[in-house]
């Protein structure tokens, strides 16, 4: 288990960090909470001490004989600051150290994750933009804040991501053992979920895709420093921390959003399951069941092949990852798709009821346009996503 420092900045979102602390401790990690003085005005030291089982102080003058301003950072396996305020990030970017948390940030040799929370205007201010860029350039993982309700009646970007998603992000960073953020400076697009094609106002054609594998690709890319655009089709999971989410419904919605986002991306991972067909006509009223009468036939037309369109449009240097969900002759069908879609890699899954869809683990074979074949045994979808990102990075060069 890891030794984690949980820094708490002085923002109203400090109360959410109690849930993050619980997730760390219940997983067996040792957590030292280091709040700022302002943070203690939102949540008191007894709360942090009781939840962590560790002493809590915000000044370098406490327990001086133990030299905490140096020891805490040097002994940590991971430092997570949530919420990270604009003031705290400004201090970190400029190397200021006037309390226990800022000195800890200066002495930490482990991965450092900052989860900002502030009003939109503060996040978008030129000073904050410059400070975030400086921190990222130094290897600090600054998570993109979520969009939503802020303090008071305001709504916008600057909300602290869901604590469970910050925890998932932190676990991926730990799993990589402090490896470099090798996707830093890259923009990646990931699609997830299954599209739905309306038949009438209450019915649709769809598929079993849960979106879990696509979300795993988004989480792992963000933990490796990428700017991630996640295009989610009918997925109900919380937004991954540090990811910009675009929600879509139909295959045509997915096509438009993906083509737009992919235009300037370094890599596109087509993990969504778009419906191959849609009803030729939409019934404006609910189709009624009539006693003794057979149901009316539903004529279908073929939806566009989004991955193939992206392959045709692919700019030089972009890596396209397609998916092949097959129930038979998987590799042969996938090889044909790899060529037809002009993809660089294709992830092949044998799918079916209680197989891949909705599960937390996956087994896959990845075929490369260079003729390579990489087998991946059953593993978590996050681990599989990380392994595929390794292949993508080789393609990026």
pLDDT at site 36: 96
Asked whether residue 360 is assigned to any structural domain, the reply reads: yes
206, 120: one domain: no
Instruction: Indicate if 206 and 80 belong to the same structural domain.
Output: no
Note whether 170 and 226 are same-domain residues. Answer: no
Looking at the predicted structure, is the pLDDT value of residue 357 above 70? no
pLDDT value of position 153? 77
CA distance to 47, 163, 165, 223, per residue, from 238 (Å): 27, 10, 7, 16
Buried b (16+ CB within 10 A) or exposed e, 296-307: eebeeeebebbb
Report whether pLDDT(29) > 80.
Answer: yes
Which of 175, 195, 211 lies at the terminal end of a domain, its last residue? 175
Residue whose tokens read 């109203």: 12
Residues 171, 96: one domain?
yes
Is residue 161 located within the same domain as residue 203? no
Q: Residues 267, 130: one domain?
A: no
Q: What's the domain range around 230?
A: 187-287+295-396
What does the angle CA 298 – CA 304 – CA 309 come to, to the nearest 5 degrees?
175
d(CA 86, CA 89): 5
* Catalytic residue set: 207
Higher confidence at residue 91 or residue 62? 91
Q: Is residue 151 part of a domain?
A: yes
**Same-domain pairing of 20 and 162:** yes
Contacts 24+ apart (CB under 8 A), 153-156: 154/119, 154/120, 156/119, 156/120
207-230 burial, b for 16+ CB within 10 Å, e for fewer? Answer: bebbbbbbbbbbbbbbbbbbbbbb
pTM metric for this prediction:
0.88
- The whole-number average pLDDT for the span 85-107 is 95
How far apart CA 180 and CA 111 sit, in angstroms, is 9
Q: Are residues 273 and 140 in the same domain?
A: no
> In the listed set 145, 175, 205, which residue is the last one of a domain according to the structure?
175
3-state SS assignment for residue 345 = strand
Distance, CA of 241 to CA of 162 (rounded, Å)? 7
Reported as a single tens digit per residue, the pLDDT across 174-229 is 988 767 789 999 999 999 999 999 999 999 999 989 999 999 999 999 999 999 99
List the alpha helices (DSSP H) in the chain.
17-26, 45-52, 68-75, 86-93, 100-107, 120-124, 126-137, 163-175, 212-223, 251-262, 306-313, 330-340, 381-396
Q: What is the pLDDT of residues 37-81, one digit of tens each?
A: 999 999 999 999 999 999 998 766 565 545 456 788 889 999 999
Radius of gyration of the chain (CA): 24
The pLDDT value recorded for residue 243 is: 95
Dist. CA 4–CA 78, nearest whole Å: 5
| Residue for token pair 């910050």 | 166
Q: Mark whether 159 and 219 lie in a shared domain.
A: no
Query: CA–CA separation, 214 vs 54, rounded Å?
Result: 37
Domain count, the chain: 2
Same domain, yes or no, for 151 and 250? no
Angstrom CA distances, 274 to 70, 257, 324, 351, stand at 52, 13, 11, 15
In a domain, 182, yes or no: no
Query: How many helices (H) and strands (E) are present in the chain, helices listed first?
Result: 13, 19
**Which CATH number do you get for residue 232?**
3.40.50.10300
**pLDDT given for residue 352 in this prediction:** 52
Q: How far apart are CA 302 and CA 68, in angstroms?
A: 65
What pLDDT digit, counting tens, does each position of 310-326 carry?
A: 999 999 999 999 999 88
Q: Any idea what the Cα angle at residue 73 is, between residues 67 and 77, rounded to 5°?
A: 140
**pLDDT tens by residue, 136-150:** 999 999 999 999 888
137 domain residue, yes or no: yes
Question: Does the structure show a pLDDT above 70 at 280?
Answer: yes
CATH number at residue 65: 3.40.50.1950
206 within a domain of the structure (yes/no): yes
In a domain, 180, yes or no: no
Domain boundary among 175, 201, 230: 175
Assigned domain for 109 exists: yes
Q: Is residue 181 part of a domain?
A: no
Contacts of 339 (CB under 8 A, 6+ apart): none
Same domain, 135 and 262: no
Confidence of residue 383 (pLDDT cuts 50, 70, 90): very high
- Judge if 313 and 220 occupy the same domain: yes
């Amino acid at each position: 288990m890891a030794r984690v420092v949980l820094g708490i900045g002085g923002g109203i979102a400090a109360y959410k960090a109690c849930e993050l602390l619980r997730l760390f401790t219940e997983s067996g990690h040792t957590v030292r909470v280091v709040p700022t003085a302002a943070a203690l005005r939102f949540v008191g030291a007894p709360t942090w001490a009781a939840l962590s089982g560790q002493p809590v102080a915000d000044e370098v003058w406490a327990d001086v004989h133990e030299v905490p301003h140096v020891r805490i950072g040097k002994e940590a396996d991971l430092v997570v600051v949530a919420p990270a305020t604009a003031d705290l990030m400004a201090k970190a970017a400029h190397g200021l150290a006037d309390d226990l948390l800022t000195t800890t940030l200066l002495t930490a040799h482990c991965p450092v994750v900052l989860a900002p929370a502030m009003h939109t205007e503060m996040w978008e201010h030129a000073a904050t933009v410059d400070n975030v860029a400086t921190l990222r350039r130094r290897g600090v993982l600054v998570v993109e804040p979520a969009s939503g309700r802020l303090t008071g009646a305001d709504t916008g970007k600057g909300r602290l991501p869901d604590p469970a998603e910050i925890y998932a992000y932190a676990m991926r960073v730990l799993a990589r053992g402090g490896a470099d953020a090798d996707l830093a400076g890259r923009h990646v697009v990931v699609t997830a979920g299954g599209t739905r094609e309306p038949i009438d106002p209450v019915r649709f054609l769809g598929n079993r895709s849960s979106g879990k594998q696509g979300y795993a690709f988004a989480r792992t890319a963000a933990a490796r420093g990428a700017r991630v655009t996640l295009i989610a089709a009918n997925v109900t999971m919380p937004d991954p921390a540090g990811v910009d989410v675009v929600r879509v419904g139909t295959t045509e919605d997915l096509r438009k959003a993906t083509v737009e986002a992919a235009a300037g991306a370094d890599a596109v991972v087509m993990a969504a399951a778009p419906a191959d067909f849609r009803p030729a006509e939409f019934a404006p009223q609910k189709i009624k069941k009539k006693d003794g009468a057979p149901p009316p036939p539903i004529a279908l037309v073929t939806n566009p092949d989004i991955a193939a369109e992206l392959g045709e449009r692919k700019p030089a240097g972009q890596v396209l990852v397609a998916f092949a969900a097959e129930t038979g002759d998987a590799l042969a069908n996938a090889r044909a798709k790899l060529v037809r879609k002009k993809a660089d890699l294709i992830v092949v899954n044998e799918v079916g009821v209680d197989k891949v869809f909705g599960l937390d683990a996956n087994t896959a074979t990845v075929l490369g346009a260079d003729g390579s074949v990489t087998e991946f045994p059953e593993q978590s979808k996050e681990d599989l996503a990380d392994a595929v990102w390794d292949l993508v990075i080789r393609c990026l060069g």
